[in-house]
Amino acid sequence: MAIVLSENFRALFYAPFYAAYATGSFADAGVEVVLRSSPAPSATVRALRTGAIDVMWGGPLRVMMTHDAEPDADLVCFADVVARDPFFVIGRRARPDFRLGDLAQMKFATVSEVPTPWICLADDLRRAGVDLARLDRVCGPTMAENAIALREGKLDAVHLFQPYAEELLASGAGHLWYAAASRGLTAYTTLVTRRSTLQDRAGELLAMTRAMRAALRWFAKTPADEIADALKRYFPDVAPAMFAAAIERYRKLGLWGADPLIRREGYDRLHAAMRAAGVLSRDIAYETCVDTSLARQAIADSEAG
């Protein structure tokens, strides 16, 4: 029986997941994985908990929030893919001496589509000594709308991901002020399942983890234009040159992990940001939300082979 894997939404920084299909990594690992789209991240979590899907990819943020609300919840992250924050602050003018604290004197827009980007950026700002209550922050429009507003001079800066960032940079309408990946490891996107599934279908999930390790290794060594060509059917509206440039920028930032092991450092960094934002009412232990057994086995198998 196939593993049903759900994507939260289509995003370029999820590229290694699509690469596992495009390169045949799942098939080579001996597991059939059916990809199913989801209307929203929250709907994906519900589908996982009801058994409508077997695995999802998504942020540990939602796993932590689920455990916070329900201490007996059984969601668990088991394979790391996006190990750093994929968002950028893009400004209207060049500021080679930019510091995060400068945003306190500017009108800027943050991400409205999902919560993690602002939770993490807000923590960066707090650490820089910024009073969030005094910010002139726009938080309603979409990233696409914010990119247009920046071009029109209605904003000083925007907070967004690829390919919006690359398009602004390539056109000269935007300048790179801050890459959130530069803060260090931040557990951003992992494979998530239920503990019962982790136990009952361990062999298949181990094969999935091996496939993701293979996809990550392919990503690390393959020219960006070849990656863009292999994955173009997933992003038909992104120009190949822009796609390749976005992949290369992410790769230089170390966005994707070298292996599927979820590091405690990245988990703790996200957990701290969530606690500071007030979205967790209590500490949620790494061991509650993370199981590294399959990742460690996949790494050991690869090294032994």
Phi, psi of 43 (to 5 degrees): -70, -35
Place of tokens 């995060």: 100
pTM, to two decimals? 0.96
Identify the three-state secondary structure at position 38: coil
Q: Where are the alpha helices (DSSP H) in the chain?
A: 15-22, 25-29, 41-50, 60-69, 116-127, 143-151, 164-171, 195-200, 202-221, 224-230, 240-252, 264-277, 286-289, 293-304
Question: Smallest Cα–Cα separation from 265: which of 188, 206, 180?
Answer: 188
Instruction: List the 175-179 sheet strands across, edge first.
Output: 136-138, 107-109, 157-160, 88-91, 175-179
pLDDT in tens, the chain (305 residues): 899 999 988 999 999 999 999 999 999 999 999 999 888 777 888 899 899 999 999 999 999 999 999 999 999 999 999 999 999 999 999 999 999 999 999 999 999 999 999 999 999 999 999 999 999 999 999 999 999 999 999 999 999 999 999 999 999 999 999 999 999 999 999 999 999 999 999 999 999 999 999 999 999 999 999 999 999 999 999 999 999 999 999 999 999 999 999 999 999 999 999 999 999 999 999 999 999 999 999 999 877 75
Question: Smallest Cα–Cα separation from 192: which of 58, 287, 19?
Answer: 58
Where do the structural domains in the chain lie, given as residue ranges?
A: 3-84+185-304, 88-183
Class of CATH domain 3-84+185-304? alpha beta
3-84+185-304 and 88-183 share one CATH topology? yes
* CATH assignment of 88-183, among 3.40.50.300, 3.40.190.10, 2.40.37.10, 1.20.1250.20: 3.40.190.10
